[in-house]
Chains A and B, each alone.
Chain A
Amino acid sequence: MDKNISFTLKVWRQRGPKEKGAFATYEMKDIPGDTSFLEMLDILNESLVNKGEEPIVFDHDCREGICGMCSLYVNGHPHGPATGATTCQLYMRRFKDGDTITVEPWRSAAFPVIRDLMVDRTAFDKIQQAGGYVSINTGGMPDANALPIGKDIAEEAMDAAACIGCGACVAACKNGSAMLFVSAKVSQFALLPQGKPEAAKRAKSMIAKMDELGFGNCTNTRACEAECPKCISISNIARLNREFIKAKLKD
């Protein structure tokens, strides 16, 4: 059985994008180890509401590591200390009695804070709208088995496609680069025959959009890969660069 722990929580609170934020401190008592990190925040919020105060705002939805909504920077790590897991998959048994736990929003110029721990990630949608698709309409497609695809290729494409669009890679990067996110999508499409015809063009337009939206450059620090909850590999960035060069050569 998990035991209960007590700890100090330092949480970033900020009314709006233009307002100054600050840490607020809360003492948490007797939290069972099998409570998830977000359930722990629910407990805190319940107590705040019961005192007539406004709860801490944070994004979340599926609470099983797949929607990419949760986005907390816990003790200096996007999604906290666990590897290969999102914030919502973090359980309190990872922490010790007496710990101080610091919770901040993603910090990046391209992701302005909306309130407290909630940030605006619409920049990610805009990048996808710049080329994260195959230009086809609905209907009239060839039979799904018309074109065999090697199992290893399909698996590699799936590895890249597993990205949940959470933005931890950007939050982890000192340059605020979105290269891991962009490369995951570009790779998935570049690997598969249906995505190949537009591969180079896609790489170019998604990178251009990324630059335009204020994301930084990639200087190969690999922080993104280390913090990505879906273990997206930076080998995707190499593939993105190859596609990008191809596009440049065509220009």
Chain B
Amino acid sequence: MAKISSIKVDSKIPEGPLAEKWTNYKAHQKLVNPANKRKLDIIVVGTGLAGASAAASLGAMGFNVLNFCIQDSPRRAHSIAAQGGINAAKNYQNDGDSVYRLFYDTIKGGDYRAREANVYRLAEVSGAIIDQCVAQCVPFAREYGGLLANRSFGGAQVSRTFYARGQTGQQLLLGAYSALNYQVSQGTVKVFTRYEMLDLVIIDGRARGIIARNLVTGKVERFAAHAVVIGTGGYGNTYFLSTNAMGSNGSAALQCYRKGAWFANPCYAQIHPTCIPVHGDKQSKLTLMSESLRNDGRIWVPKKLEDAKALQAGKKHPNDIPDEDRDFYLERRYPAFGNLVPRDVASRAAKERCDAGFGVNNTGLAVFLDFKYAIQRLGEDVVRQRYGNLFDMYEEIADTNPYKEPMMIFPAIHYTMGGIWVDYELQTSVPGLFAIGEANFSDHGANRLGASALMQGLADGYFVLPYTIQNYLSDQIQVPRFSTDAPEFVAAEKAVTDKIAKLMAIKGKRSVDSIHKELGHVMWDYVGMARTKESLETALKKLAEVETLFWSDLFIPGAADTLNVELEKALRLLDFIEIGKLMAYDALNREESCGGHFREEHQTEEGEAKRDDENFSYVACWKYTGDGQEPELIKEDLNYQYIKVQQRNYKN
């Protein structure tokens, strides 16, 4: 049993009715006047949608911003890879959408485990994001009449997703990058590329800077500021194989955790239903096929076990199985939403069929996503126009032509809803430390709906943080710039260099990746799509073994004071192991099923997730208590005042 802390959580939700909270907040928050802004330094770590939009907006307001990323250019942050789209409650389609409906869908999609006030604000600012992006020349898809086009995504019955072909994340990020470049040209933002944050510096209880390693020279450097913003993305790579980019990591979040910021809901990880199945053991990452494909593709496995067996043995071709022998299991189980059920539901349904032996590839871990019907209905040209680049991508990887035969897909780790705990102001439990984008835990509850991560990242960066951070900074204007010679900086730097020296000195036999793969197997097998008390206890034991292996047998070639990719990976792996443990603790504690967290002990007779609102309607915040010690649990109760909490129903 987790040790429960008596700390009372203040999430700083403003007074007033739901729809007026944000307006009230903005009307009464404290501001910083323009002359003073120039005297205040803000560190923004990360240049993804969240980090770049925040850095650009803060720069535009007149603050002095230092912006960091590990890639060689801000434009290469992992956000670039988002394909499908971004939600906004514009109701351009006149199909009944509204701020309230987007809010409602997001809360429901998150299985009633997100904070009402935050999510309402997210829906409220969503429209302004689209306006901002269009003003930046983001080339969204348009209709013949010249107006913006929309598509539908899982978990919604309206069409509110804006997109730029299959490259929405790229176009939004390039928009934010252009805004950032404008600020760089104005001298308000300085960008540090190929730099990796390795620790947070705290002075008198407030976040005052970071320690970062120049990845080209290997030099460990100190940076001071009046506030620190973390926008470093999610920790899906804990599983080794995921749809995340190779460099995506959870280290900055974990550094903050070790310095006192709470880590919230770590066990909420999203498993995306439509990824290209795993092949072989040399694979380095998994490729997502956009959820938008579920608009027109139909998901099926054979009805007859003997057909599945023949497919697995390569003795039958999918096209030879007649329609009446195909089990469109999502349409069968969820008639109202069909192939557009939320991700957690679709993923579990695929697993259920494959566990029952109906998997369709040689490993038995794949289902079909079939465009035959869409091609019959719309013609190949229309399908090509909508999904051409995705089909090409699939063909290049899988070496089969999806216009001619169904795609094979399987669920994969994709997104992490958990992250650094923040209050309504996006401030963590450490004063002066803020967290935005996927790095925080805020808006998606136990399951994120498609096209809402881009929305949240940009909402945080363009329209929320630039306001709320001023409320904190307004009483910091008398605080002079910090010297990085302060003892806190010296100590933090020493701790980092000591840790690096310790890793270099292990001199074992195993490469970082080989140990990371072991971690990934433990996580997928025991903290994956279906969890039990037993599996999670096994996970904790096995994670301790992986940690021992790391400290006894890791080998990092080369030197620390120069470019060293293996060292970079080793530092991240150490943190992934710690995150793995946090995920297991959290999953063990949460004795219910909700969203992406499925405890087999807690399911309905039909195999759906069974929540326990009586006992678990809270955010689980984990507080660091020392290395090798179990963290403490702090509960933030969730009170729903405007929405009636129900069992999610996508059936009728």
Which chain A residues have a beta carbon within 8 Å of chain B's beta carbons?
Answer: 2, 32, 34-36, 38-39, 42-43, 46, 48-50, 52-55, 57, 59-69, 82, 84-85, 89, 91, 93, 114-115, 118, 120-122, 124-125, 128-139, 141-145, 147-151, 154-155, 157-158, 161-162, 164-165, 188-189, 192, 194-195
Instruction: Return the chain A residue nearest B166 by Cβ.
Output: A66
Q: In the complex, are the beta carbons of B245 and A63 less than 8 A apart? A: yes
* Closest Cβ–Cβ distance, residue A32 to chain B (whole Å): 6
CA–CA, A34 to B282, complex, Å? 10
CA–CA, A151 to B169, complex, Å? 20
Name the one of B134, B144, B462 contacting A144, with C-beta atoms under 8 angstroms: B134
Q: In the complex, are the beta carbons of A39 and B246 less than 8 A apart? A: no
Q: In the complex, are the beta carbons of A138 and B179 less than 8 A apart? A: yes
CA–CA, A133 to B175, complex, Å? 8
Name the one of B136, B142, B288 contacting A154, with C-beta atoms under 8 angstroms: B142
CA–CA, A141 to B60, complex, Å? 14
Give the residues in chain B near A48, CB-CB below 8 Å: 557
Q: In the complex, are the beta carbons of B137 and A188 less than 8 A apart? A: yes
Instruction: Return the chain A residue nearest B174 by Cβ.
Output: A161
Q: A34-B399, A66-B167, A148-B147 are in contact. Are A54 and B182 (CB under 8 A)?
A: no
* Closest Cβ–Cβ distance, residue A235 to chain B (whole Å): 16
Q: In the complex, are the beta carbons of A148 and B73 less than 8 A apart? A: no
B286-310 interface mask toward A, CB cutoff 8 Å, 1 = contact, 0 = none? 0110000000000000000000000
CA–CA, A135 to B225, complex, Å? 27
B513 interface residue (CB < 8 Å to A): yes
Q: In the complex, are the beta carbons of A138 and B146 less than 8 A apart? A: no
Give the residues in chain B near A36, CB-CB below 8 Å: 284
Q: In the complex, are the beta carbons of A134 and B137 less than 8 A apart? A: yes
Name the one of B76, B133, B145, B511 contacting A49, with C-beta atoms under 8 angstroms: B511
6 A-B pairs within 8 Å (CB atoms) are namely A43-B282, A67-B78, A122-B72, A134-B182, A157-B137, A157-B139
B505 interface residue (CB < 8 Å to A): no
* Closest Cβ–Cβ distance, residue B464 to chain A (whole Å): 11
* Closest Cβ–Cβ distance, residue A121 to chain B (whole Å): 6
Name the one of A64, A93, A114, A121 contacting B73, with C-beta atoms under 8 angstroms: A121
CA–CA, A39 to B285, complex, Å? 9
Give the residues in chain A near B563, CB-CB below 8 Å: 57, 114-115, 118
CA–CA, A91 to B246, complex, Å? 18
Q: In the complex, are the beta carbons of A85 and B396 less than 8 A apart? A: yes
B178 interface residue (CB < 8 Å to A): yes
Give the residues in chain B near A34, CB-CB below 8 Å: 279-280, 399
CA–CA, A228 to B139, complex, Å? 20
Q: In the complex, are the beta carbons of A55 and B128 less than 8 A apart? A: no
Q: In the complex, are the beta carbons of A189 and B284 less than 8 A apart? A: no
Give the residues in chain A near B143, CB-CB below 8 Å: 151
A-B residue pairs, 3 tightest by C-beta: A148-B146, A137-B60, A133-B178
Q: A38-B284, A139-B128 are in contact. Are A132 and B181 (CB under 8 A)?
A: yes
Of the listed residues A34, A68, A129, the one surrounded by the most CB atoms of chain B closer than 10 A to its CB is A129
Instruction: Return the chain B residue nearest A159 by Cβ.
Output: B139
CA–CA, A69 to B60, complex, Å? 28
List 19 extra interface pairs beyond A59-B72, A144-B140, A158-B164, CB under 8 A. A32-B280, A34-B280, A39-B283, A49-B511, A52-B555, A64-B81, A64-B393, A68-B73, A129-B184, A130-B185, A136-B179, A138-B132, A141-B135, A144-B90, A145-B148, A148-B146, A151-B143, A158-B165, A162-B167
Q: In the complex, are the beta carbons of B81 and A62 less than 8 A apart? A: yes
B118-132 interface mask toward A, CB cutoff 8 Å, 1 = contact, 0 = none? 000000000110111
B154 interface residue (CB < 8 Å to A): no
Q: Classify the interface of chain A: helix, strand, loop or mixed.
A: loop
Assign chain B's interface to a size class. 35 or more
Q: In the complex, are the beta carbons of B193 and A62 less than 8 A apart? A: no
Give the residues in chain B near A32, CB-CB below 8 Å: 280, 282
Q: In the complex, are the beta carbons of B287 and A125 less than 8 A apart? A: no
Q: In the complex, are the beta carbons of A138 and B56 less than 8 A apart? A: yes
Give the residues in chain B near A93, CB-CB below 8 Å: 399
Q: In the complex, are the beta carbons of B565 and A142 less than 8 A apart? A: no
CA–CA, A84 to B81, complex, Å? 17
Q: In the complex, are the beta carbons of A128 and B135 less than 8 A apart? A: no
B27 interface residue (CB < 8 Å to A): no
Q: In the complex, are the beta carbons of A69 and B71 less than 8 A apart? A: yes
CA–CA, A15 to B283, complex, Å? 28
* Closest Cβ–Cβ distance, residue A161 to chain B (whole Å): 5
B216 interface residue (CB < 8 Å to A): yes
Give the residues in chain A near B182, CB-CB below 8 Å: 133-136
CA–CA, A84 to B395, complex, Å? 13
Give the residues in chain B near A141, CB-CB below 8 Å: 128, 131-132, 134-135
Give the residues in chain B near A136, CB-CB below 8 Å: 135-136, 179, 182
Give the residues in chain A near B165, CB-CB below 8 Å: 158, 162
CA–CA, A158 to B168, complex, Å? 11
* Closest Cβ–Cβ distance, residue A236 to chain B (whole Å): 14
Q: In the complex, are the beta carbons of B145 and A134 less than 8 A apart? A: no
CA–CA, A82 to B170, complex, Å? 22
Name the one of A49, A61, A150 contacting B557, with C-beta atoms under 8 angstroms: A49
Q: In the complex, are the beta carbons of B179 and A133 less than 8 A apart? A: yes
* Closest Cβ–Cβ distance, residue B466 to chain A (whole Å): 7
Instruction: Return the chain A residue nearest B165 by Cβ.
Output: A158
CA–CA, A36 to B246, complex, Å? 14
B184-206 interface mask toward A, CB cutoff 8 Å, 1 = contact, 0 = none? 11000001010000000000000
Give the residues in chain A near B636, CB-CB below 8 Å: none
Q: A39-B282, A57-B565, A139-B463 are in contact. Are A63 and B246 (CB under 8 A)?
A: yes
CA–CA, A34 to B136, complex, Å? 40
Q: In the complex, are the beta carbons of B193 and A125 less than 8 A apart? A: yes
* Closest Cβ–Cβ distance, residue A122 to chain B (whole Å): 7
Q: A34-B399, A61-B76, A151-B144 are in contact. Are A139 and B284 (CB under 8 A)?
A: no
Give the residues in chain A near B557, CB-CB below 8 Å: 48-49, 52-55
Q: In the complex, are the beta carbons of B90 and A54 less than 8 A apart? A: no
Give the residues in chain B near A132, CB-CB below 8 Å: 178, 181
Give the residues in chain B near A164, CB-CB below 8 Å: 170
Name the one of B80, B181, B396 contacting A89, with C-beta atoms under 8 angstroms: B396
Q: In the complex, are the beta carbons of A142 and B287 less than 8 A apart? A: no
Identify which of residues 237-275 in chain B touch chain A, using a CB-to-CB cut-off of 8 Å.
Answer: 245-247
Instruction: Return the chain B residue nearest A68 by Cβ.
Output: B76
* Closest Cβ–Cβ distance, residue A106 to chain B (whole Å): 12
Q: In the complex, are the beta carbons of A151 and B283 less than 8 A apart? A: no
Name the one of B131, B137, B280 contacting A142, with C-beta atoms under 8 angstroms: B131
Q: In the complex, are the beta carbons of A69 and B462 less than 8 A apart? A: no
Name the one of B56, B76, B185 contacting A67, with C-beta atoms under 8 angstroms: B76
Q: A39-B282, A66-B167 are in contact. Are A129 and B81 (CB under 8 A)?
A: no
Give the residues in chain B near A118, CB-CB below 8 Å: 563
CA–CA, A150 to B148, complex, Å? 10
Q: In the complex, are the beta carbons of B139 and A188 less than 8 A apart? A: yes
Q: A32-B282, A62-B81 are in contact. Are A55 and B509 (CB under 8 A)?
A: no
Q: In the complex, are the beta carbons of B90 and A122 less than 8 A apart? A: no
Q: In the complex, are the beta carbons of A195 and B137 less than 8 A apart? A: yes
Give the residues in chain A near B92, CB-CB below 8 Å: 145
Give the residues in chain B near A42, CB-CB below 8 Å: 282, 284, 513
CA–CA, A36 to B398, complex, Å? 11
CA–CA, A120 to B563, complex, Å? 13
Instruction: Return the chain B residue nearest A56 by Cβ.
Output: B565
Instruction: Return the chain A residue nearest B177 by Cβ.
Output: A128
* Closest Cβ–Cβ distance, residue A195 to chain B (whole Å): 5
* Closest Cβ–Cβ distance, residue B287 to chain A (whole Å): 5
* Closest Cβ–Cβ distance, residue A104 to chain B (whole Å): 18
Give the residues in chain A near B282, CB-CB below 8 Å: 32, 35, 39, 42-43
CA–CA, A143 to B147, complex, Å? 11
* Closest Cβ–Cβ distance, residue A130 to chain B (whole Å): 7
Q: In the complex, are the beta carbons of B178 and A161 less than 8 A apart? A: no
B566 interface residue (CB < 8 Å to A): yes
B348-373 interface mask toward A, CB cutoff 8 Å, 1 = contact, 0 = none? 00000000000000000000000000
Q: In the complex, are the beta carbons of A145 and B128 less than 8 A apart? A: no
Q: In the complex, are the beta carbons of A39 and B284 less than 8 A apart? A: yes
